[in-house]
């Protein structure tokens, strides 16, 4: 009886069946987590770059007076038209336009007030485009969903109460005379 148990243990020690399964079970979660985090951060970066580019192009149009009626809706529409991969832009975008005092060069402090998708500003604020030769700062915030909300990258991001994460972009311009 004991000899048969010892013989079974020796055989068990010599055989290598199932070793690749054990290695797979240890390595696969690490590789899969890395892949998901890379994909999520790439998608987040793509959305940020598209928002930043769209904001810069819209600021150029504002500065040159190409946007005929610079109301908040027209500025938002211009940003959304230029940021092709932004998604539900009209409902997810928040814009803040403020002037910068050139005597003290004090910029707005704190983060832009980002809102969840579809939540209108309270109260509705129309942009103050300033006067000639005034420095204007425009900040945009885009709310979006992570692709993999339980992944390590997405779970470490600052999120709203409904699960949106926020992407912000900032640009400045001087009103032309």
pLDDT tens, residue by residue, 83-135: 876 667 888 888 888 878 777 887 777 767 777 666 665 545 555 666 667 78
Residues in contact with 18: Cβ distance below 8 Å, sequence separation at least 6, in sequence order:
none
Mean pLDDT across the chain: 78
- 3-class secondary-structure state, position 73: helix
Q: Are 139 and 146 in contact (CB under 8 A)?
A: no
Q: Are 165 and 123 in contact (CB under 8 A)?
A: no
Quick one: 126 exposed, middle or buried, by C-beta within 10 A (0-12, 13-18, 19+)?
A: exposed
Residues in contact with 104: Cβ distance below 8 Å, sequence separation at least 6, in sequence order:
none
- 3-class secondary-structure state, position 57: helix
Predicted model pTM: 0.75
Cα(5)–Cα(47) distance, integer angstroms: 62
One pLDDT digit (tens) per residue for the chain, 177 residues: 777 887 777 776 666 666 677 788 888 988 988 888 888 888 888 888 999 999 999 988 887 778 766 778 888 888 888 887 666 788 888 888 887 877 788 777 776 777 766 666 554 555 566 666 778 888 888 888 877 776 666 666 767 777 778 888 888 888 766
Per-residue CA distances from 172 to 6, 45, 49, 57 (Å) = 79, 21, 17, 12
């Amino acid at each position: 009886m004991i000899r048969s148990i010892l013989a079974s243990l020796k055989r068990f020690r010599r055989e290598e069946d199932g070793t690749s399964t054990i290695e797979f079970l240890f390595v696969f979660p690490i590789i899969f987590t890395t892949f998901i985090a890379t994909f999520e951060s790439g998608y987040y970066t793509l959305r940020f770059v598209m928002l930043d580019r769209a904001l810069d192009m819209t600021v150029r149009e504002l500065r040159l007076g190409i946007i005929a009626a610079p109301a908040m809706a027209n500025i938002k529409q211009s940003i959304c038209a230029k940021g092709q991969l932004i998604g539900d832009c009209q409902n997810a975008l928040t814009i803040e336009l403020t002037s910068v005092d050139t005597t003290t060069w004090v910029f707005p402090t704190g983060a832009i007030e980002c809102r969840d998708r579809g939540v209108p500003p309270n109260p509705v604020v129309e942009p103050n485009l300033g006067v000639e030769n005034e420095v204007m700062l425009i900040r945009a915030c885009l709310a979006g969903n992570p692709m993999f909300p339980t992944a390590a990258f997405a779970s470490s991001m600052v999120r709203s109460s409904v699960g949106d994460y926020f992407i912000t972009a900032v640009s400045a311009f001087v009103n032309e005379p």
